[in-house]
Amino acid sequence: MAETSGSRRVVIVGGGFAGLFAARALRNAPVRVTVLDRAEHHLFQPLLYQYATGILSDGKIAIPLRELLKRLRNVEFVLAEATGIDAAAKRVQARRPLGGQLEFDYDYLILAAGVQQSYFGHDEYATFAPGMKSIEDARRIRRRVFGAFEMAESATDPAERSRWLTFVLVGAGPTGVELSGQLRELATKTLSSEYRHIQPKDARVLLFDGGKAPLAAFGPKLSAMAARDLKKLGVELYMGSIVTEADLHGVQVKDHEGNLTRYEAGTILWTAGVQAPPLAAAVAEATGAEQDRAGRLICGKNLSLPGHPDILVTGDLMSLDKLPGVAEVAMQSGLYAGRRITHEAQGQTYDKPFKYRDLGSAAYISRGRAVISAGKLNFGGFPGWVAWLFIHIGFLTGFRNRVGALLSWWTAFVRDMRRERAFTMDDLPVRLYEDKIETSDSGLRAVPQQSASADKPEPARQTRPPAS
């Protein structure tokens, strides 16, 4: 990286949308930029569910950060995870992937580290109920989903077969709605004629949420449309229902009347709730900044932390005016942070506060069905699906990824073919625990060595798919 004498140092923590747009905005500024991320790629999170269900490959939704940043001559990338800061010394502490500490001095710090899955105080659920925030999460979901059909095919006990063919999703925001729809399409179309001992179309997909309707943030009209389309697909909706207990073999759910019901399931997918990463707490302790309920950092209108104008918070990590955790917020806040630093590095003042321009929201239901909310425009069905295609093609990073996604969608939507289905069985939950046999009055029964129990969690709600 070429250094300019006297240029200021900018450290960007996170290579998601916020970090990437901030780095691009700084390309002509008299600054030296270091981007830190524990992943070597920039990820398009809104399409992770299509990777998990075999439509897209990881290369179509992820692109190496070094490739994206190579033309920005004043920017360098370091593969490391930021763990804390020394606000007085203006220094970031980070950890290398295989161990070892690094430190980076800064004049400006842009925090764009995103968020992580929240299990509402029951992190033990993550062992058997993966979320979907990273490529690794999506790979795990792919193994669970396709592995469940394989386990059902070889099962001889009807109860075991039924359990493997039952999929539970917790959270009816966009991620839960899109993933549940894809599971039913997978079962009724792609896999419908590939098995000899099971009927994939018999797979049950159960969607639970503490709210009154799926996609509640989209408004009553689109929410009702989504519910109707999901039911047509065969998704079973359980609204006003809170998961109170989850374990390797299923979930216990409390409905709006307080009744508890047990649902046996071979696959549990967690699509509800987010929380800030540990870095946010470390920054709050170092700066005295406040955090919201999800642990995100509360910042001012200029995105800086109170008393620390040199530290800017962007994307999902910032808590400002109840803005949603979506790609557009991340992009616009990253762009704002980069522009503000550029002006100040050039000796100019930048008093303009951050103002978010809402470009709307979109959620995919199934082939030919999607819902779009953009200002006063609220529509769905086939027109919504077409609009969804154009929106996501526009947001994908790189020409190659856009063309590749279009070709993959063509084979998936027209020919019911999903070519990205390779998986291994080594991560299926059946391998995580060894069942022991104990004798009961009714005979022998299998009892897992571990089980997860939970008090009443917060209602499982998610406004829109997060992107950092």
Active site residues: 178
Write out the H or E segment, with its range, that includes residue 439.
strand 435-440
Q: What are phi and psi of 367, to 5 degrees?
A: -55, 120
Tokens of 327: 């790609």
The strand order across the sheet containing 91-95 reads 81-86, 91-95, 101-105
Burial tier of 282 (Cβ tally within 10 Å: 0-12, 13-18, 19+) = middle
The strand order across the sheet containing 166-170 reads 235-239, 204-209, 166-170, 267-270
Identify the residue whose tokens are 């408004």: 219
Tell me how far apart the alpha carbons of residues 298 and 284 are, in angstroms, rounded to a whole number. 9
- Pairing status of strand 304-305 against strand 308-313: antiparallel
Phi/psi class of residue 123: alpha, beta or left (left: φ > 0; alpha: ψ in -120 to 50)? alpha
Nearest C-alpha neighbor of 21 from the set 8, 30, 9, 12: 12
Tokens of 377: 């425009």
Is the Cα dihedral 120, 125, 127, 128 positive or negative?
Answer: negative
Helix (H, G, I), strand (E, B) or coil at 130: coil
Tell me how far apart the alpha carbons of residues 68 and 48 are, in angstroms, rounded to a whole number. 20
Looking at this protein, which amino acid is placed at residue 190?
T
Residue 94's beta-bridge partner residues?
Answer: 82, 102
Helix (H, G, I), strand (E, B) or coil at 116: strand
Q: Please count the CA atoms within 13 angstroms of the CA of 181 that sit on its side-chain side.
A: 26
Nearest C-alpha neighbor of 186 from the set 167, 170, 200: 200
Q: What are phi and psi of 349, to 5 degrees?
A: -90, 155
Identify the residue whose tokens are 């992943």: 39
DSSP for 27-54 reads: TTSSEEEEEEESSSEEE-GGGHHHHHTT
Alpha helices per DSSP H over 269-368: 278-287, 327-345
Residue 95's beta-bridge partner residues?
Answer: 81, 101
